[in-house]
Structure 1
Amino acid sequence: METVEVDGLRIAYQRVGHGPPLVLFHGAGEDSRIWRRQLEGLSDDFTVFAWDAPGCGQSDDPTLGFSAEEFGAVAAGFLRAAVPENPYILGLSWGSMLALELYRGYPEIPASLVLASAYAGWAGSLPPEEVERRYAQVLAEIDLPPEKFVEEWLPTLFTDKADPAVVAEASGIMAGVRPAGMRALLSASGRADYRPVLPTITVPTLLLYGADDQRSPLYVAHELHRQIPGSRLSVIPDVGHLAQMEAPDAFNTEVRNFLRGIAAG
């Protein structure tokens, strides 16, 4: 792991490969380890950066009341400190909300967006009662030992056809979740609505989903596709929310082909 300091926070990240920079933003309850197959599989074409968000992995915990705008500012500061040029941004789940927050505040930074298993914020994509159910569930779980709730998350993240070793790997990563990190992510993003950002996006954008995603269903994908001008929607059959783990070859191929197309002009 390498580190940089951004706004007083030590931010840890992995960097591998050579080529144009591709930056990976993980989801809630995760860290950069969730991207192992992308760090391995895409580093032949790209310099791949995978950060640990504030409160996750080996990065410092944010302060109490850390806002969505502050997450966006730290992400922008990280990119300026660690990445040599305008990067391709890939955000997964909560990381897709962070990518939209980054674009909202700093539209000059991303060269393109890949929004995987994405939302326009929970409040921007889900019915109000589902937003409140999820918010209350995570709030109740924050101070519990991770083994008390991670096993309940897993069936909503993978299909029943997923390799048990992959599911176990994800479980081990999520077992490292920290209350301070989850509290900050929930407070900043639990009721976020990024629908106003979507029609302002002018960079090439790929929406990448698993066909059987329970957490961000395909109706969410189609609505983002409708609202983001010129966006492309790709659906990977027979996989769930953590498509980058369940079907890494298909996921990496979609990302690689999209970014190669941008580079080819």
Structure 2
Amino acid sequence: MPRPSSPRVRHVTVHGHRRAYVRMGSGPVVLLLHGLGCDHTTWAPVMESLARTHTVIAPDLLGHGASDKPRADYSVGGYANGMRDLLTVLGVDSATVVGHSFGGGVAMQFAYQYPERTERLVLVGSGGLGPEVTPAIRAITTPGFHQVMGVLSAPVLRHATTATMRLLARSGVRHLRDLDEVADIYDSFKDPRTRVAIRHVVRAVVDWRGQVITMADRAYLTEAMPMCVIWGADDLVIPVAHASNASALAPSARVEIVPNAGHFPHKDHPQRFVRIVRDFIRTTEPSHHDRERWRELLEAGGVVPHQAEAGEKPKAPVRALRRAAGA
């Protein structure tokens, strides 16, 4: 599917590092966080439509796209800090935060660290909901990745491989549909700085057993925050079963499984994706951070009894929720 015309990429310097971002539309802010090795263009099929009703901000995370690729902190917490400071520079106090794949882990961390600035949380094929992840990502952590990828990204081989991937993505075989995005990621590895940055990112969140980051130990802190989980039914990167983990960790979360979609449901079915996000925002109230409630939850390390509405079911103990996600 051809991408719409690209919006103007802007730049701002935060902490001495140049960061690229796209800003479109007006209204309540939606912050779109891309996945590992991607950039803001992964959201191209949905940005224009979302911008009809919202202010859409889609940055290139540090080490990705047109943003700087310094020797820096590439941890999930570091990225969350960076997004806080980017929003501050752009004059944005709070946003609905949408994170895809690795960006979902950043979105979770942002919500934990800055609940007063998070109106809602939307996780798309997100990391942090279970240990399983494709072996291709785990391979990035192995010794020699940088050198091997340097050889594989030589111009002739890179051009032939990416062209083949894009051809296969258009073949109609559902399990090959994500190869066009994989081709873009592979092509970005021609830049040695990108390879180094991606390696640092992956080593911070994945080891030989799979994903290290998890929302299981802090899911109880999101009790008052509207959450939506969107997953492609045919996701081969992070199993769709992780959406069930999200239901266990956050029972009030809205879960949407998109049929005939892979790891990029916002690309496979952009109109449906926009409808889901827009309806979720329309039917939920922005989260209002209660500092005293947050303190009580932290002190208890789990669910604290409170005055429940009539008929409200008690929430599961936090240890049971951790087991549900394999933590």
TM range (shorter): 0.7 to 0.9
CA contact (8 A) 2:125 2:240 kept: no
What does 1:144-163 correspond to in 2, within 5 Å?
144=149, 145-146=152-153, 147=158, 160-161=173-174
Using CA pairs under 8 Å that are at least 6 residues apart, name the structure with larger relative contact order, 1 or 2. 1
Q: What corresponds to 2:90 in structure 1?
A: 82
Corresponding residue of 2:197: 181
Q: 1:12 to 1:65 in 2, by over 3 A?
A: closer
Distance 2:114 2:71 in 1: 22
CA RMSD of aligned residues (A): 3.1
CA deviation string 1:9-34 (max 9, x = no partner): 21110011111110100000100011
Contact 1:65 1:187 in 2 (8 A): no
Please state if 1:69 is matched with 2:67: no
Change (3 A) 1:87 1:152: farther
* Structure 1 residue 45 displacement after superposition: 0.7
Partner in structure 2 of residue 138 of structure 1: 140
Please, which of 100, 117, 133 is the counterpart of residue 108 of structure 2?
100
Deviation of 1:197 after TM superposition, in Å, equals: 2.2
State the distance in 2 between where 1:170 and 1:18 align.
Answer: 32
Q: Give the counterpart letter for 1:182 in structure 2.
A: I
* 1:237/1:107 CA distance change after superposition, 3 Å: same
Q: CA deviation at 1:126?
A: 2.1
Contact 1:92/1:117 (CA < 8 Å) preserved in 2? yes
Q: CA deviation at 1:230?
A: 1.4
- 1:1-265 alignment runs, 5 A limit: 1-64=9-72, 66-120=74-128, 125-127=130-132, 133=135, 136-140=138-142, 141-143=145-147, 144=149, 145-146=152-153, 147=158, 160-161=173-174, 167-168=179-180, 171-172=183-184, 174-177=186-189, 178-190=194-206, 191-201=212-222, 202-262=224-284
Q: Compared with structure 1, are the counterparts of its residues 219 and 170 closer, same or farther at alpha carbon in structure 2 (3 Å cutoff)?
A: closer
Q: Which runs of 5+ in 2 are unaligned?
A: 1-8, 207-211, 288-327
Q: Give yes or no for contact 2:24–2:51 (8 Å, CA) kept in 1.
A: yes
Q: Distance in 1 between matches of 2:74 and 2:37?
A: 16
Instruction: Return the alpha-carbon distance in structure 1 between the equivalents of residues 66 and 264 of structure 2.
Output: 21
Residues 125 and 220 in structure 1, CA contact (< 8 A), matched pair in contact too? yes
Structure 1 residues not aligned, in runs of 5+ = none
Q: Which amino acid aligns with 1:260?
A: R
Where 2:53 maps in the other structure, the secondary structure is coil
Whether contact under 8 Å (2:38, 2:184) holds in the other structure is no
Equivalent-residue separation in structure 2 for 1:213 and 1:50 (angstroms): 23
Cα distance in 1 for partners of 2:181, 2:57 equals 20
SS in 2 for 1:125: coil
With structure 1 as the length reference, what TM-score do the two structures score? Answer: 0.85
Aligned residues: 257
Report percent identity of matched pairs.
24
Q: 1:194 offset after TM fit, Å?
A: 2.7
Change in Cα spacing, 1:173 to 1:38, as seen in structure 2 (3 Å) is farther
